[in-house]
Structure 1
Amino acid sequence: MKALHPFVLLSLIFLLPLSIGSVDGYGHGEALHGDALALLSLKASLSCRPHVLRSWLPGNVASVCEWTGVRCAGGRVVSVDIANMNVSTGAPVTAEVTGLAALASLSLSGNGIVGAVAVSALPELRYVNVSGNQLGGGLDGWDFPSLPSLEVFDAYDNNFSSSLPAGVTALPRLRYLDLGGNYFSGVIPASYGGMLALEYLSLNGNNLQGTIPPELGNLTSLRELYLGYYNAFDGGIPPELGRLRNLTMLDVSNCGLTGSIPSELGELASLDTLFLHTNQLTGEIPPELGNLTALTRLDLSNNALTGEVPSTLASLTSLRLLNLFLNRLHGPVPDFVAAMPRLETLQLFMNNLTGRVPAGLGASAALRLVDLSSNRLTGMIPEMLCSSGELHTAILMNNFLFGPIPGALGSCASLTRVRFGHNYLNGSIPAGFLYLPRLNLLELQNNLLSGPVPSNPSPTLTGSESQLAQLNLSNNLLSGPLPAALANLSALQTLLVSNNRLAGAVPPEVGELRLLVKLDLSGNELSGPIPEAIGRCGQLTYIDLSTNKLSGPIPEAIAGIRVLNYLNLSRNQLEESIPAAIGAMSSLTAADFSYNDLSGQLPDTGQLRYLNETAFAGNPRLCGPVLNRPCNISSDAGGSTAVSPRRATAGDYKLVFALGLLACSVIFAAAAVLRARSYPGGGPDGAWRFTAFHKVDFGIAEVIECMKDGNVVGRGGAGVVYAGRARSGGAIAVKRLNGGGRHDHGFRAEIRTLGSIRHRNIVRLLAFCTNDQEANVLVYEYMGGGSLGEVLHGKGGGFLAWDRRYRIALEAARGLCYLHHDCSPMIVHRDVKSNNILLGDGLEAHVADFGLAKFLRSGAGAGAANAGASECMSAVAGSYGYIAPEYAYTLRVDEKSDVYSFGVVLLELVTGRRPVGDFGEGVDIVQWAKRVTDGRRESVPKVVDRRLSTVPMDEVSHLFFVSMLCVQENSVERPTMREVVQMLSEFPRHASTQPSPSSASSSSAPEPDKGPNCYKLFPDLLN
């Protein structure tokens, strides 16, 4: 629910005297009695929840002025305010407010009312607020001419569609009109330029098209104008808007405008805020904008503007925010920018700016955010950048800056994010820089920094005080040892120090970094053993210690890191054998042990047996089938000794015999299942074979009966789905695959998958039918709620409340987690999408449609953390917009491909948008979400589904960032589905949903305070 606008507050204050008057006997007047009856009629038409408006009762008419939300004056009802009382049951209603001749103020806002509400015949009505509901259709039912006194009309954030209402132009006193956040289409009527009393007009967040009518320039009383966001206007900004001399706010952002910025906007002398960002504006920035001396916020970012920053902007001495990023500007960063006394935010990144960064930047103003990255700037970082002590973000990466990092930044306690990578900075890292108390992200990679990695200069800083989550010092000239003081950085998630000149031992204190996810110390001169303590970093998914001088054995403790995906120990001097426990790790998807001095037989379990032999090259004393090097040869040509196998014992033969018996038992059991319930259902040429996987009360006759056109509930590329009934009357869904019985169309994959698994969040396959002459038919439990895609994107605008969306995300994640971690061999779905998540009658989620599913080779059996090895497919299969990049480019698929697709589903739940088609040619929902939010938590509200009137932003941001983790380009850095379930379970009210019936180690929700924090898991997502 949005905050009340100051103009609306003034209106309420104006109406306040009407609400406090009292007239003796007002409860006995005939007119007041009629008002009470009108209110009772309104309550009845709203179908209110039983517990609200309890005082509104027929037997309580005499006390109408004491009813909840009702105020009287002069013996009449003058105000009705039932805002945010949750009156709606969610059922569609048709309500009308009328018969209240003295009513001056009406607020129904924030109640989620579905349907239609109309207002008519209220001659004294001056204030109406129906915002924050789900009112649909148009506003044709509103008799605006019968509301001659109306001054404020707020219909923000509803589902209104059709054209903008023309009737509002008949309101001579209308000063405040907000129709934003709806689905109005068509054009802005030119007649809107005739509402001369208007002071506030908001049409943003609709589906408007056409051009912005120049007649809006006639609204000379206008103080605030909002036209952007989701609208798609043709043409440019009308120069006539320059006549709105009283305008303080002009926001025409993100609505497809073209052309140049009119110089006439420089005549808006009262303007406080000018937002024109995220359009397609071209040309130069008009120098006339320098006349807007009252301006405090100027955002022209994300356009195609050219030329230099005009010198006339130096007169904007009140400016607090200057955003010109993502344009094509060239020339220098003007020196006057450093002299602006109130400037707090300066973002000029991704232009073609050259020259030096102004030396005085930060000396004259309380700078809080500076981003000059991705230009061609030279010179040094300004010494006074943090002189105010309020700087929290400094991003200067991807330039040509040189010289040292200012020592003063080492004591800038306000810093939270620093990105200086990809420059030519030299000198040493300032003392204290790594240990600043609020610092969350520090990137200094790809520079010429030298000297040691600094130790903690302040003994008083403890690990609990540090907030640093990502530290990147890679590709510099740093030398000396890694300091043990790194253990003070207890919040560290990513530690990247590769390709430097570091020497000495890997400090065992690294084991104190219990939240570490990624560790890269490769390309240095580190020596000595790999510390056993590294096994205490239980969150590590990525370890690279390659190209050093490490020696000794590989610590078996590494096998205790259950989520490790990537391990690179190549090009060291490691000795002895690869521990069998590491060989059995099912989580590993990539590993490299090459060019060491390892010996012995390779473990023949786990993922190592699926690695290419290049992962073990340069270890001549290693042997095993992967290397085509048998272990029964005592010596090779080079004099190296291989390990001879031990002699078989009686126990070995007993084990082989027992395994043989077990295999036979499994085969006979499978044959028995396939024979169960199989019988002919027709003639010899068209015999139906029916196989049930559960106890069912229907047969082939019921299945055939339901396959009629009148029962069709869905059609797809694979076949047709019918709704049917069992003998007891229960519902079933019958899927008849295309192409006849001799064409597979995913039939065998679906049978093989669904026939062997059981999980509450995976749709149940009840039976299947085959007929060589006719078709393949699958019978499922019926899902009455339809698919998630239909509910989110259907024509009816099917609305899902936020709480239900979050639970659907968690339930679907549990289903996929079961496939990946509790099935042996692992099952990869390969077509995860919102249309393949079906909803039951209670909207519980079930993963469905396994026609493309694949079994991947298993490493450690059921319950393994990550038991699949990637396989190469013959062609890309899946749905456009959901396919992981590595699958599309290499045809290799593994469980992380499903994780990517699930991340797209999460984005659909957050944004309410389809994966493709809503963002322009070649742009999908992932690219759009990354571009709009830039990885910033404060930008997440920009992408939230506007149908969600009130949402807990902490949960929305959490779900959004989980989705961002899932759709990372590098599949190794994506979380596993087990980790996704853990992250989604962090909020207690959702974690309490029924866990999966599989092993507690895989799918049960962890304690809310012990789940991984996704905002810190991969902080490199946050710019």
Structure 2
Amino acid sequence: MLTSLLNLLVFSVFFLLFSSSSLSHVLASDYEALLTLKQGFHNSNPSLNSWNYSNSSSVCFWKGVKCLNGRVISLDLTDLNLEGSVSPVLATLDSLIHISLAGNNFSGRLEQVVVDNKENLRFLNLSNNLFNGGLAGWNFSSSPNLEVFDVNNNNLSSPLPLGVTRLKKLRHLDLGGNFFFGEIPRIYGEITSLEYLFLGGNDLQGSIPKELGNLTNLRELYVGQYNVYEGGIPKELGKLVNLVQLDASSCGLSGPIPKELGNLASLDTLYLHMNHLSGSIPNELGNLTSLVNLDLSINELSGEIPHEFINLKNLKLFNLFMNKLHGSIPDYVADGLPNLDTLKLWKNNFTGEIPRFLGQNGKLQELDLSSNKLTGTIPSNLCDSNQLSVLILMNNFLFGPIPENLGSCTSLVRVRLGQNYLNGSVPNGLVYLPKLNLLELQNNYLSGNLPENVDPVSFNPAKLDQIDVSNNRLSGPLPVSLSNFTSIQFLYFEGNQFSGPIPQSIGQLKQVIKLDLSKNYLSGLIPLEIGNCVHLTYLDLSQNNLSGSIPPEISSNRILGYLNLSRNHINGTLPVSIGSMKSLTSADFSFNDLSGKLPESGQFAVFNASSFVGNPLLCGSSLNNPCNLTFVPSPSRKSSSGEFKLIFALALLVCSLIFAVAAVIKAKSFKKRSDSWKMTTFTKVEFNVSDILECMKDGNVIGRGGAGIVYHGKMPCGSEIAVKKLLGFGPNRHDHGFKAEIETLGQIRHRNIVRLLAFCSNKHTNLLVYEYMRNGSLGEALHGKKLGGFLGWNMRYKIGIEAAKGLCYLHHDCSPLIVHRDVKSNNILLNSHFEAHVADFGLAKFLSGGGASECMSAIAGSYGYIAPEYAYTLRVDEKSDVYSFGVVLLELLTGRRPVGDFGEGVDIVQWSRVQTNCRKENVPLIIDSRLTAVPQDEAMHLFFVAMLCTQENSVERPTMREVVQILSEVHPNHHEKLVV
């Protein structure tokens, strides 16, 4: 017995030693393969420090490695931020069942990562890397058991692979977010094992094959997101009875929505937005009783909302905005959809009243019914459970009072009720809600006082950014509680009946940019404290009953660009210090009781004479009312007076002769030096051609381009200018570019468009003289070496809005409208306060006939910014500028150049679409890495606007006026102080 036990023990020890030796031998090959794999990583993550040469037997305990029976069966390096390449040695790990390299920055051709001889491989995830090439080199037949194949969000470019059809066990196929082109192969309808198919975010064309209807095991199907298909949605998709999610958004689909989609009883999400779908909404969609998310927005749908939608009891998101729907909003939207939290039906033709019990379900969070033809009153239950954050009902025919309980709805973030017929008073507390960011009540018939803040602890408007109550019938004093608006930037109170003094507390509005109190009955003095509003760029106190003198402290507002104090009872003299406000380009002091001599220095030389009319006691040479010194002769000194007049006349004659001689000498010298230059000024300047020529030295060059050279100069008067010299125009050639700029800028006066000061020319050269923009161009700020990292998010968003306003002026406020044709970041200039100015009108084009497009003789513009229809047809209209501006918005968001960073033939628009798959949750993937603490909602909003602007079809792009409006809906609460 003992002998038997000893024999058994010896055998066991021998077996263990043999097994250990075999195990070490097998692991040695996997060990070497993994170390070779690691050598290809450029920035090895610290978590891979366990991958070392010290002990080959520890392989199974390395990060991301799992073993079975002595072999590596799983390699998971997900989201380790690794870079570099993946060695083909991966193919030697022939026992792998699971491979995931997702969420890294691996590059190279994907064919090099092919894993052959992997009969047991079931899971392969290579998504979110930078692999390029195609899948032609992949031997799919070597992995017949593969169940998951994911290469989403790479740079793959080829037709969709046909070899995947040989994977009979494939359940999950994700080829999205790449540059696959061509049609969806019909043979994909034979991969009947598929449960998940993602083809979105590519460059696919053709039509959606009806054969996809054979994939009856499919639970999720994504075919949209910037593919461009012909035709419509195949009715055969109605056979996918197990489908839970269907996304065919943003892919150019046309025609009706097939009623067969009503057979998809398990459908949870249906996204068909941003297409060209037409016809009525099928009643059969009411059979989708599992539906939670329904988005049919931005199409051409007509008819009414089907009554059958009353069956969609699980519906939470319901978007039908930007269609051609009509009829009334069904009552069941309020009482028949108990889970509804988002309802957006704006920009349709809905009539009738808003359902009375809307919001009574206690779950409503976002409601936008704006730009319809709705009548009646605002329902009183909208915020019953304090969940409502967005309430937008503007531009309808609503009447009656604003529900009083909205004044205690602390969840509200954005309220837009303007352009209606609302009456009654503003609810107590509404202006002071703690989360409120935007409040618009303008153009209604509201009356009564604007309430004070009675509970500053619970109702502290710490986030309020804009309030607009203009053009109502509000009266009484301005609330002292205005001082609580610590983050307010835009304050519009004009066109009401406010009376009493302007509160001194207005000086506590440290962030205010635009303040308009015009057309009221305000009286008393202009408070000195207004000089504390250091960010103020626009101040309008006109058409009130203000009195007293203009406080010199107003000149403390160093970036003030617009000042209107007209039609008051202001007296005294004009403060000379106002002339030192170099940013002040527009001012109006007319129809007051000002007196004394009009200063002529600084900015006073820029203002029009009409800015001072209606002040009979104000004198000055520019007012045709010279300040003459009147000599009253004494009867006893008549002879002395006569002698004095004679002496004075002789002295005046001598001085005139001296000045005449000096002028002749100077003219000869000037003519010799400047070669018969002619100078045309567009505003009053304190320099001449000689001063301009003096600054045109190589050391003063600040820019060079195909059109010319730009110099920086400082004039003797202290002002700074930028001089643009056109290249390549000799005496016998026509200067079309300069003529366009002159004709355009000569009649433009806008805060966000660069100001042309003068034009100089001789028979050889033409010069344009601009106001100098100290911080250069937006392109330099974003892509140069100095400023990019310091140009923070708030400043970028502000620059985007300001540039949009400049283009909006060209498109909507000029007659005929002006198309810039070269909108780009290098043509958006930044002054010393980083305020944006649209510049360089050398390619500008006037469009007559209501803005109809015109055909150009050749493409003009800059590569990466040119709209598709312009490049193909040479036809240009204002929507061409909108596309280019969308590219600029993407530059602001990503910090990348429009072309050159994404591979040959790929621009920032295509790249952004692919990287995000048009999913708002993916927008953080493309945000400039130099930015910190970027508000995600603002980034997603900016991306949404950029995508609207860069639509392939120009008709689908918004106007610049709409762009300004949409951008202004969400913008930063604070301006960053840049350290440059």
What TM-score do the two structures reach when normalised by structure 2? 0.70
- Provide the rounded CA distance (Å) in 1 between the counterparts of 2:785 and 2:329: 47
Whether 2:155 is the aligned partner of 1:159: answer yes
**Equivalent of 1:284, from 267, 280, 283?**
280
Whether 2:396 is the aligned partner of 1:399: answer yes
Kindly indicate whether the alpha-carbon contact (under 8 Å) linking 1:810 and 1:984 is maintained by their aligned counterparts in 2: no
- Provide the rounded CA distance (Å) in 1 between the counterparts of 2:590 and 2:308: 62
Kindly indicate whether the alpha-carbon contact (under 8 Å) linking 2:531 and 2:553 is maintained by their aligned counterparts in 1: yes
| Structure 1 counterpart of 2:92 | 99
Post-superposition Cα deviations, 1:493-531, rounded to whole Å, max 9, x if no partner, equal 221111111111111111122221111111111111111
Cα RMSD (Å) of the superposition?
5.1
Residue 483 of structure 1 deviates from its aligned partner by 1.6
Kindly indicate whether the alpha-carbon contact (under 8 Å) linking 1:833 and 1:905 is maintained by their aligned counterparts in 2: no
| Structure 1 counterpart of 2:225 | 229
- Provide the rounded CA distance (Å) in 2 between the counterparts of 1:983 and 1:482: 24
Residue 569 of structure 1 deviates from its aligned partner by 0.8
Residue 611 of structure 1 deviates from its aligned partner by 2.0
| Structure 1 counterpart of 2:38 | 43
Secondary structure at 2:278 match in 1: coil
- Distance 1:744-1:56 versus aligned 2 partners, 3 A rule: farther
Whether 2:98 is the aligned partner of 1:116: answer no
List aligned pairs for 1:714-729, cutoff 5 A.
none
- Distance 1:625-1:147 versus aligned 2 partners, 3 A rule: farther
| Structure 2 counterpart of 1:78 | 73
Residue 25 of structure 1 deviates from its aligned partner by 2.8
Kindly indicate whether the alpha-carbon contact (under 8 Å) linking 2:825 and 2:888 is maintained by their aligned counterparts in 1: no
- Distance 1:484-1:586 versus aligned 2 partners, 3 A rule: same
Structure of higher CA gyration radius: 2
- Provide the rounded CA distance (Å) in 2 between the counterparts of 1:451 and 1:591: 32
- Provide the rounded CA distance (Å) in 2 between the counterparts of 1:108 and 1:354: 54
Amino acid at match of 1:300: L
**Equivalent of 2:893, from 910, 914, 924?**
910
| Structure 1 counterpart of 2:608 | 612
Kindly indicate whether the alpha-carbon contact (under 8 Å) linking 1:584 and 1:603 is maintained by their aligned counterparts in 2: no
- Distance 1:715-1:576 versus aligned 2 partners, 3 A rule: closer
Whether 2:486 is the aligned partner of 1:490: answer yes
- Provide the rounded CA distance (Å) in 2 between the counterparts of 1:432 and 1:48: 55
- Provide the rounded CA distance (Å) in 1 between the counterparts of 2:21 and 2:822: 61
Residue 941 of structure 1 deviates from its aligned partner by 5.8
| Structure 2 counterpart of 1:168 | 164
| Structure 2 counterpart of 1:378 | 375
| Structure 1 counterpart of 2:506 | 510
Kindly indicate whether the alpha-carbon contact (under 8 Å) linking 2:887 and 2:908 is maintained by their aligned counterparts in 1: yes
Secondary structure at 1:630 match in 2: coil
- Distance 1:747-1:217 versus aligned 2 partners, 3 A rule: closer
Further displaced range: 259-268 or 507-516: 507-516
| Structure 1 counterpart of 2:211 | 215
- Distance 1:184-1:874 versus aligned 2 partners, 3 A rule: closer
Whether 2:531 is the aligned partner of 1:521: answer no
Residue 617 of structure 1 deviates from its aligned partner by 1.7
Whether 2:138 is the aligned partner of 1:142: answer yes
**Equivalent of 2:451, from 451, 454, 469?**
454
Kindly indicate whether the alpha-carbon contact (under 8 Å) linking 2:157 and 2:178 is maintained by their aligned counterparts in 1: yes
Amino acid at match of 2:789: R
**Equivalent of 1:471, from 467, 479, 482?**
467
Kindly indicate whether the alpha-carbon contact (under 8 Å) linking 2:293 and 2:317 is maintained by their aligned counterparts in 1: yes
Kindly indicate whether the alpha-carbon contact (under 8 Å) linking 1:253 and 1:276 is maintained by their aligned counterparts in 2: yes
Kindly indicate whether the alpha-carbon contact (under 8 Å) linking 2:82 and 2:104 is maintained by their aligned counterparts in 1: yes
Post-superposition Cα deviations, 1:219-259, rounded to whole Å, max 9, x if no partner, equal 00000111111110110000000000000101100100000
Identity %: 49
Kindly indicate whether the alpha-carbon contact (under 8 Å) linking 1:586 and 1:864 is maintained by their aligned counterparts in 2: no
Residue 944 of structure 1 deviates from its aligned partner by 7.5
- Distance 1:581-1:868 versus aligned 2 partners, 3 A rule: farther
- Provide the rounded CA distance (Å) in 2 between the counterparts of 1:148 and 1:61: 31
Residue 744 of structure 1 deviates from its aligned partner by 10
**Equivalent of 1:329, from 322, 325, 335?**
325
List aligned pairs for 1:238-257, cutoff 5 A.
238-257=234-253
Post-superposition Cα deviations, 1:964-1022, rounded to whole Å, max 9, x if no partner, equal 99999699x99xxxxx9998966xxxx7xxxxxxxxxxxx34xxxxxxxxxxxxxxxxx
Whether 2:413 is the aligned partner of 1:416: answer yes
Post-superposition Cα deviations, 1:538-574, rounded to whole Å, max 9, x if no partner, equal 1111111111111111111111111211111111111
Residue 114 of structure 1 deviates from its aligned partner by 1.6
Residue 59 of structure 1 deviates from its aligned partner by 5.7
Amino acid at match of 2:82: V
Amino acid at match of 1:362: G
Secondary structure at 1:113 match in 2: strand
| Structure 2 counterpart of 1:706 | none
Kindly indicate whether the alpha-carbon contact (under 8 Å) linking 1:26 and 1:32 is maintained by their aligned counterparts in 2: no
**Equivalent of 2:293, from 289, 297, 300?**
297
| Structure 1 counterpart of 2:430 | 433
List aligned pairs for 1:2-17, cutoff 5 A.
none
Residue 747 of structure 1 deviates from its aligned partner by 13
Kindly indicate whether the alpha-carbon contact (under 8 Å) linking 1:223 and 1:248 is maintained by their aligned counterparts in 2: yes
| Structure 2 counterpart of 1:584 | 580
| Structure 2 counterpart of 1:639 | none
Kindly indicate whether the alpha-carbon contact (under 8 Å) linking 1:907 and 1:960 is maintained by their aligned counterparts in 2: no
**Equivalent of 1:807, from 785, 789, 792?**
789
| Structure 2 counterpart of 1:133 | 129
Residue 330 of structure 1 deviates from its aligned partner by 0.5
Residue 70 of structure 1 deviates from its aligned partner by 1.5
Post-superposition Cα deviations, 1:856-879, rounded to whole Å, max 9, x if no partner, equal 9xxxxx979989999999966994
Secondary structure at 1:455 match in 2: coil
Residue 601 of structure 1 deviates from its aligned partner by 2.2
| Structure 1 counterpart of 2:955 | none
Further displaced range: 408-417 or 192-201: 408-417
- Distance 1:149-1:319 versus aligned 2 partners, 3 A rule: same
**Equivalent of 1:66, from 61, 67, 81?**
61
| Structure 2 counterpart of 1:188 | 184
Kindly indicate whether the alpha-carbon contact (under 8 Å) linking 1:586 and 1:868 is maintained by their aligned counterparts in 2: no
- Provide the rounded CA distance (Å) in 2 between the counterparts of 1:579 and 1:899: 43
Kindly indicate whether the alpha-carbon contact (under 8 Å) linking 1:296 and 1:319 is maintained by their aligned counterparts in 2: yes
- Provide the rounded CA distance (Å) in 2 between the counterparts of 1:199 and 1:548: 70
Kindly indicate whether the alpha-carbon contact (under 8 Å) linking 2:821 and 2:845 is maintained by their aligned counterparts in 1: no
List aligned pairs for 1:856-1005, cutoff 5 A.
879=861, 905-910=888-893, 954=934, 1004-1005=979-980
Kindly indicate whether the alpha-carbon contact (under 8 Å) linking 1:497 and 1:521 is maintained by their aligned counterparts in 2: yes
Kindly indicate whether the alpha-carbon contact (under 8 Å) linking 1:343 and 1:365 is maintained by their aligned counterparts in 2: no
Kindly indicate whether the alpha-carbon contact (under 8 Å) linking 2:893 and 2:928 is maintained by their aligned counterparts in 1: no
Amino acid at match of 1:504: G
Residue 83 of structure 1 deviates from its aligned partner by 2.0
- Provide the rounded CA distance (Å) in 2 between the counterparts of 1:606 and 1:718: 30
- Distance 1:940-1:576 versus aligned 2 partners, 3 A rule: farther
- Provide the rounded CA distance (Å) in 2 between the counterparts of 1:334 and 1:836: 47
Residue 53 of structure 1 deviates from its aligned partner by 3.7
- Provide the rounded CA distance (Å) in 2 between the counterparts of 1:533 and 1:418: 30
| Structure 1 counterpart of 2:596 | 600
Amino acid at match of 1:445: Q
List aligned pairs for 1:313-392, cutoff 5 A.
313-339=309-335, 340-392=337-389
Residue 581 of structure 1 deviates from its aligned partner by 1.0
- Provide the rounded CA distance (Å) in 1 between the counterparts of 2:518 and 2:67: 77
Post-superposition Cα deviations, 1:673-716, rounded to whole Å, max 9, x if no partner, equal xxxxxxxxxxxxxxxxxx99479xxxxxxxxxxxxxxxxxx996
